Amino acid sequence: MELLIGHSPDPDDAYMFYALTAGKVNFPFKIKEFLVDIETLNKLALHGRLDVTAISTHALAYVADKYYVLRVGASMGLKYGPVVVGKGGKIELVAVPGTYATATLLFKLAMPNVKTVEVPFDRIMDAVISGAVDAGVLIHEGQITYERYGLRNIMDLGEWWYEQTRLPTPLGLDVVKSSLGMSNVKLIKDALLESLKYAIQHREEALEYAMRFSRGLNMSDTGRFVDMYVNNYTIDIGNDGEKAIRALLQWGHERGLTPEVNFILV
């Protein structure tokens, strides 16, 4: 069997999937790897086109009928997350990184009366700097580089989320197509866990690979970013991670921003 595996071309995902896609761990399936931005992965998952994929937690509200959620591989931060940045002044229009991005849902929960416009995640800083928007919600490496471009932190949505819930910020998940069957899903889960453990045990090797996807970050910044989102919650989301997913999607449903959803964790 050949599996189509999708993940974003970003340092944290590359770090996690490195050993699996490089053949460093035992895996009983052939792999076809597909690297594309997370919003595109979300949209492909809506149609069930990927066998295994990273998705935004927000997107789970729309794909839980097709995918099981793995307890391994989650991207969560405790007291930090996507950052709303600007140059100062009144905030009337804010760039967000996509319809199904968790950062977009968090922003709409935190600032429900502010208008938003979708901008590709890697163009949001440019939109803020140019004045096309008043502020932008930054994900990926923008969270640690924005000050270098003269932008200031208006709100850390992870800090805001923690203040509201005392839970980690549930940004991203790994999911497996339920039609593959539970026995195969568990094999995939075990292999992803082994891939993650390999990266942790061979950090320099995995970081060198991750740097190919770091969009200009040096080794130190790449390691810093990877450490933000490859942590204990990535190994296993735990009780707090599960509570965070359920809290986010329930809050989104109550605000009329997401459909009601039931999902299965494996």
Active site residues: 140
Q: Which residues, 6+ apart, have CB-to-CB distance to 28 below 8 Å?
A: 187
Retrieve residue 10's tokens.
Answer: 């970003």
Burial environment of residue 40 by CB neighbours within 10 A (0 to 12, 13 to 18, 19 or more)? middle
Distance CA 72, CA 52 (A): 12
Other C-beta atoms lying within 10 Å of the C-beta of residue 227: 12
Q: Tokens 């270098």 identify what position?
A: 148
Strand 135-138 and strand 2-7: the pairing is: unpaired
Buried b (16+ CB within 10 A) or exposed e, 187-224: bbbebbbbbbebbeeeeeebbebbbebbeebeeebbbe
Q: What are phi and psi of 209, to 5 degrees?
A: -70, -45
C-alpha–C-alpha distance, residues 133 and 189, integer Å: 41
Q: How far apart are CA 249 and CA 259, in angstroms?
A: 8
CA angle centred on 96, ends 91 and 97, rounded to 5°: 160
C-alpha count within 13 angstroms, C-beta hemisphere, residue 212? 11
